[in-house]
């Protein structure tokens, strides 16, 4: 059976040493409260509930799945009690607005907590995760009255939330959406239509579910410009917050899926359900997309989370499993064989995952801090820059972290040999669970299009120029530092390749839009690699700095040395992939577009 230990030390390193979040104590609200002691207590508390409550239910959820009986969904054994423990611990309100009962702590801290919970039990964590998304939409687009009515009980976890976008014939292309919302004389709407793939659409964990639903108000514009966003509660809510009638929304069936069996993926039928417009009519996608950007960061962290837990279990197995001898001679001659962690190819797999998840964690938390800055920083210029770079990197993180999270879980499965394929070891569940993250919240190909088609050209390339200045400035600053040269030199080269790819795009994507689409995924990967390289180079700088203090003989010296090895591995064994991506980009779209559809 797999286990999970939250990587608290690495999280602390990122928050305090890499991001130095104490810099923001006097600048960002909630950061003063996030003292090192508070952070330590929160991380330990989240680790405890993740390890002791959520992780033991991960396999239960996979085995039992959810059942639909008489329109009600029964979640797997233990999920109800675990959810009660999560809200009892205040975890659903950690970063919530204090005005509505939240603790108002930094978003970046909430991200660390959500990583732990997702590592422990991804399917379970989606119930509160979807609530966060729904809350955010209400925060962005809701009236004060709507906020006051819904947010407190969602923050407390008493109610959960969902997002309803997809319909059977329309996933990515929301312009095809048909669900309609007919205005009523009392200002409400009647929502009718079918939504599919609704995670946590129905369940027995909470007393009410607040559905956020995209629908068309008849007479509005066609396509994406006529879509509005509605609040459709499972139970109508009286003005005093008490529950009223059951609304005409129901779960028609649940999907049998490859993974995340513990989370109910519902077909939701809206049969003239009472709904309340949120934000402006026909402008629903605007709110939805703001919220989805944050959700995409959350999904990126899910990718990382499955890599982390799979890695831990693979490491334990590789230290334990005796098979063969080290190539340079037996390491443990007294044992019948050496543990397989002595084998270089096993280490190649483990190191590949290690540098991914540690680097991705650093980047994800940096991104989380940008969310705090965007939401709370007093200086508009600082907020704008954070928004630019975060907007640029959100699709990159979503796609790269989930693709690589899946690959990483697979590498970890591979370390187990035949046992990895056997259900009881739990490794194959990580792979199946991780797989969804490459698809939902916008399939990864859509992320690449978002990057190349929208984020890159926006504001005449302001965001990418800022990014180049950031990474390039760092490289220049340390280019003469001999100790850092093994990190700065490859990063500089990779950045040059990315600049070259960007120039290629600028020259070729306008004349032939297919060129942009054809190279978008390669470009996204290049940017991901450069960005992770930048994280590792910063990590290396900090560690070199710490180790250069000869008086410090603390236990942590080994921690810093290990980080330097990991950074070296990233530069030598991962970053060279930028070469192949550049070459593929420069080949353009011709060989992709030449075949007729029939020729496939």
Q: Name the residue nearer to its own copies (CB basis): 355 or 369.
A: 355
User: Where is 361: in which H helix or E strand?
Assistant: helix 344-376
Alpha-carbon distances, residue 146 vs 99, 208, 240, 279 (angstroms): 13, 15, 12, 10
Contact between 600 and its own copies per CB under 8 A: yes
Contact 279, 232 (CB under 8 A): no
- For its own copies (CB under 8 A), the number of binding residues is 96
- Rounded CA gap, 233 and 270, in Å? 11
- Rounded CA gap, 125 and 127, in Å? 5
From the list 330, 506, 510, 579, which residue makes contact with its own copies (rule: CB under 8 A)?
Answer: 579
139, 167, 441, 544: the active-site residue: 441
Q: Name the residue nearer to its own copies (CB basis): 29 or 512.
A: 512
Contact between 593 and its own copies per CB under 8 A: yes
Contact between 434 and its own copies per CB under 8 A: no
In the region spanning residues 55 to 84, those forming contacts with its own copies, defined by CB under 8 A, are none
SS3 96: coil
Contact 430, 309 (CB under 8 A): yes
Residues 6+ apart with CB under 8 A from 50: 4, 6, 116, 117, 119, 120, 121
Intra-chain end-to-end CA distance of the chain, in Å: 43
Contact 523, 448 (CB under 8 A): yes
From the list 14, 43, 300, 346, which residue makes contact with its own copies (rule: CB under 8 A)?
Answer: 346
In the region spanning residues 348 to 367, those forming contacts with its own copies, defined by CB under 8 A, are 348-351, 354
Q: Name the residue nearer to its own copies (CB basis): 217 or 449.
A: 449
From the list 118, 341, 360, 532, which residue makes contact with its own copies (rule: CB under 8 A)?
Answer: 341
- Rounded CA gap, 308 and 312, in Å? 6
Question: Which residues is 162 bridged to in the sheet?
Answer: 211
From the list 147, 180, 257, 376, which residue makes contact with its own copies (rule: CB under 8 A)?
Answer: 257
Mark 8-47 with x for binding to its own copies (rule: CB under 8 A) and - for no binding.
----------------------------------------
From the list 195, 203, 211, 343, which residue makes contact with its own copies (rule: CB under 8 A)?
Answer: 343
Contact between 521 and its own copies per CB under 8 A: yes
Q: How far is the CB of 70 from its own copies (least distance, A)?
A: 23
In the region spanning residues 488 to 517, those forming contacts with its own copies, defined by CB under 8 A, are 512-514, 516-517
Contact 148, 100 (CB under 8 A): yes
Q: How far is the CB of 329 from its own copies (least distance, A)?
A: 9
Q: How far is the CB of 415 from its own copies (least distance, A)?
A: 9
- Rounded CA gap, 419 and 413, in Å? 8
- Please confirm, yes or no, whether 441 is among the known catalytic residues: yes
Alpha-carbon distances, residue 331 vs 125, 328, 339, 381 (angstroms): 42, 9, 9, 57
- Rounded CA gap, 50 and 38, in Å? 18
Nearest 10 degrees: CA dihedral of 121, 127, 130, 132?
Answer: -90
CB-CB neighbours of 368 under 10 Å: 29
Question: Which residues is 267 bridged to in the sheet?
Answer: 253
Residue in 115, 442, 540, 126 with CA at minimum distance from that of residue 307? 115
Alpha-carbon distances, residue 31 vs 155, 196, 375, 560, 568 (angstroms): 19, 39, 13, 26, 33
In the region spanning residues 435 to 464, those forming contacts with its own copies, defined by CB under 8 A, are 435-436, 438-440, 443-445, 448-449, 453
Q: How far is the CB of 388 from its own copies (least distance, A)?
A: 24
Residue ranges of alpha helices (H) inside 426-478 are 427-435, 444-449, 462-477
From the list 1, 176, 469, 506, which residue makes contact with its own copies (rule: CB under 8 A)?
Answer: 176
Residue indicated by tokens 């660390």: 112
- Rounded CA gap, 188 and 324, in Å? 70
Contact 133, 271 (CB under 8 A): no
Mark 285-324 with x for binding to its own copies (rule: CB under 8 A) and - for no binding.
------------------------------x--xx--xxx
Q: How far is the CB of 167 from its own copies (least distance, A)?
A: 11
- DSSP state letter for 250: E
Alpha-carbon distances, residue 363 vs 219, 297, 464 (angstroms): 45, 11, 17
What are the φ and ψ backbone dihedral angles of 186, each rounded to 5 degrees?
A: -85, 10
Q: How far is the CB of 592 from its own copies (least distance, A)?
A: 4
Q: Name the residue nearer to its own copies (CB basis): 247 or 515.
A: 515
Q: How far is the CB of 581 from its own copies (least distance, A)?
A: 8
In the region spanning residues 397 to 416, those forming contacts with its own copies, defined by CB under 8 A, are 406, 410, 413-414
SS3 33: coil
Contact between 426 and its own copies per CB under 8 A: no
Q: Name the residue nearer to its own copies (CB basis): 72 or 561.
A: 561
Contact between 156 and its own copies per CB under 8 A: no
Mark 528-567 with x for binding to its own copies (rule: CB under 8 A) and - for no binding.
------------------------------x---x--x--
Q: How far is the CB of 13 from its own copies (least distance, A)?
A: 14
Q: How far is the CB of 495 from its own copies (least distance, A)?
A: 16
Residue in 102, 55, 65, 56 with CA at minimum distance from that of residue 203? 65
Contact between 482 and its own copies per CB under 8 A: no
| Binding region for its own copies (CB under 8 A) out of 14-22, 76-84, 234-242, 251-259 | 251-259
Q: Name the residue nearer to its own copies (CB basis): 470 or 499.
A: 499
Contact between 258 and its own copies per CB under 8 A: yes
Q: How far is the CB of 283 from its own copies (least distance, A)?
A: 21
Contact between 106 and its own copies per CB under 8 A: no
Q: Name the residue nearer to its own copies (CB basis): 482 or 599.
A: 599
Catalytic residues: 441
């Amino acid at each position: 059976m797999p286990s999970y230990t939250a990587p608290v030390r690495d999280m602390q390193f990122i928050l305090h040493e890499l991001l130095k979040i104490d810099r923001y104590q006097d600048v960002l609200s909630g950061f003063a409260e996030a003292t090192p002691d508070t952070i330590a207590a929160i991380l330990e508390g989240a680790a405890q509930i993740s390890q002791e409550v959520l992780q033991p239910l991960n396999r239960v959820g996979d085995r039992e799945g959810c059942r639909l009986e008489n329109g009600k969904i029964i979640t797997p054994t233990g999920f109800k009690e675990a959810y009660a423990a999560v809200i009892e611990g205040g975890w659903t309100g950690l970063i919530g607005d204090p005005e509505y009962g939240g603790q108002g702590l930094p978003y970046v801290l909430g991200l660390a907590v959500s990583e732990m919970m997702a590592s422990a039990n991804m399917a379970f964590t989606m119930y509160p995760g979807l609530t966060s998304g729904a809350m955010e939409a209400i925060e962005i687009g809701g009236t004060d009255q709507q906020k006051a009515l819904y947010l407190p009980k969602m923050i407390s976890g008493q109610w959960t939330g969902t997002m309803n976008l997809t319909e059977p014939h329309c996933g990515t292309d929301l312009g095809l959406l048909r669900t309609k919302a007919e205005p009523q004389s009392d200002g409400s709407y009647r929502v009718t239509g079918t939504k599919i793939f609704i995670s946590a659409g129905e369940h027995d964990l909470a007393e009410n579910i607040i559905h956020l639903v995209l629908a068309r108000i008849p007479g509005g514009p066609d396509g994406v410009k006529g879509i509005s966003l509605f609040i459709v509660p499972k139970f109508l809510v009286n003005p005093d917050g008490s529950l009223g009638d059951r609304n005409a929304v129901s779960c028609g069936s649940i999907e049998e899926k490859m993974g995340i069996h513990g989370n109910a993926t519902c077909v939701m039928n809206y049969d003239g359900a009472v709904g309340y417009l949120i934000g402006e009519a026909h402008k629903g996608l605007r709110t939805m997309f703001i919220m989805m950007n944050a959700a995409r960061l959350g999904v990126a962290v899910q990718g990382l989370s499955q890599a982390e837990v799979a890695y831990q279990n693979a490491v334990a197995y590789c230290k334990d499993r005796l098979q063969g001898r080290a190539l340079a001679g037996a390491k443990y001659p007294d044992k019948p064989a050496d543990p397989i962690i002595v084998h270089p190819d096993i280490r190649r797999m483990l190191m590949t995952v290690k540098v991914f998840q540690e680097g991705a964690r650093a980047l994800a938390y940096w991104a989380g801090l940008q969310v705090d800055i965007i939401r709370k920083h007093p200086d508009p210029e600082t907020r704008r820059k954070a928004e630019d770079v975060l907007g640029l990197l959100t699709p990159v993180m979503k796609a790269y972290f989930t693709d690589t999270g899946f690959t990483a879980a697979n590498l970890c499965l591979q370390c187990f040999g035949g046992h990895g394929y056997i259900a009881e070891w739990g490794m194959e569940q990580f792979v199946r669970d991780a797989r969804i993250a490459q698809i939902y919240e916008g399939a990864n190909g859509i992320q690449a299009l978002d990057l190349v088609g929208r984020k890159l050209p926006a504001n005449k390339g302001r965001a990418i120029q800022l990014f180049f200045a950031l990474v390039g400035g760092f490289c220049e600053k340390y280019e003469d530092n001999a100790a850092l040269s093994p990190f700065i030199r490859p990063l500089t080269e990779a950045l040059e390749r990315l600049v070259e790819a960007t120039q290629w795009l600028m020259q070729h994507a306008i004349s032939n839009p297919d060129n942009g689409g054809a190279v978008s995924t390669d470009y996204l990967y290049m940017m991901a690699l450069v960005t992770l390289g930048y994280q590792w180079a910063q990590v290396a700088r900090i560690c070199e700095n710490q180790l250069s203090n000869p008086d410090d003989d603390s236990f942590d010296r080994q921690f810093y040395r290990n980080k330097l090895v990991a950074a070296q591995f990233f530069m030598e064994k991962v970053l060279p992939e930028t070469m192949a991506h550049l070459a593929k980009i420069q080949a353009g779209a011709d060989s992709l577009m030449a075949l007729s559809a029939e020729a496939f």
